[in-house]
Amino acid sequence: MKILLLEDNARFNSTIVKRLEAKGYVLNSFIDGQDAYNALDNGYACFILDINVPSLDGIEILKKIRDFYPETPVIIMSSSVELEVIKDAYNYGCNDFLKKPFFIDELEIKIEKLCNIRHDIVDLGHGCLFDFKTSLLAIGEFQEHLSRKEKLLLNVLISEKGKVVTFNKIQAMVWEGNFASPDSIRSLMRRLRKKIPFECIETVVDVGYILRY
């Protein structure tokens, strides 16, 4: 999962990056607001923004994010205790707010909660289990290993269980902002379906897919 981090304190920025990368996340980090703004369309599953940064502040970037990504989680960080600052952050669509200083454990917990990150085993029914830690799909005694993209696709389907996952969301979450043609997405879906021994993924024509189990 790819995350955009905007934090102008270089040391704290580096600390967050090292900690989250150790958890398996992909981080694109910035210390300048304009640089972060220019990178918004690179396919992120989560945004972590400081407010008071050079060039363009975090609230202005939050507004832009919400113009294009109404559902992508945004976590705002700030040392400010002013009620108006906190209200602005929520009014413009942030999902959570962290008051500096904070433990990075708190940030990890919020990311996992907001992005529906799973570390457990999910029962898909019919004796089929998916282990997020090992990327193994187990059907009885038989095990099938999922590729990285297959795992990302199944993860987004599980996190949105019962809801339509659009082609655009799949491109952002699985291809992490890189272009993916409809044929590429359909090809990946065919490979995933072959590894799940029963029908649980429905196609919504020209829109996306729904996972039901």
Does residue 61 share a domain with residue 45? yes
Give the model's pLDDT for residue 118. 66
Amino acid 97: pLDDT: 94
The conformational region for residue 12 under phi > 0 = left, psi -120 to 50 = alpha, else beta, is alpha
For residues 209 and 66, give the distance between their C-alpha atoms in angstroms, rounded to a whole number.
Answer: 24
Q: What is the pLDDT of residue 95?
A: 95
Q: What is the DSSP pairing of strand 128-131 with strand 121-125?
A: antiparallel
> Do 102 and 125 sit in the same domain of this protein?
no
Verify that 98 and 167 share a domain, yes or no: no
| CATH classification of the domain holding 33 | 3.40.50.2300
CATH assignment at residue 205? 1.10.10.10
Structural domain range at position 142 = 121-211
Residues 176 and 136 in one domain: yes
Task: Tell me, yes or no, whether 104 and 129 share the same domain.
Answer: no
Q: Are residues 86 and 30 in the same domain?
A: yes
Q: Please check whether residues 15 and 110 belong to one and the same domain.
A: yes
Residue 76, SS3?
strand
Q: Walk along the chain (213 residues) in steps of 10 and give the mean pLDDT of each run.
A: 94 96 91 96 91 94 91 90 86 94 93 79 88 86 90 88 89 82 94 91 94 88
3-state secondary structure of 62: helix
- The pLDDT of residue 200 is 92
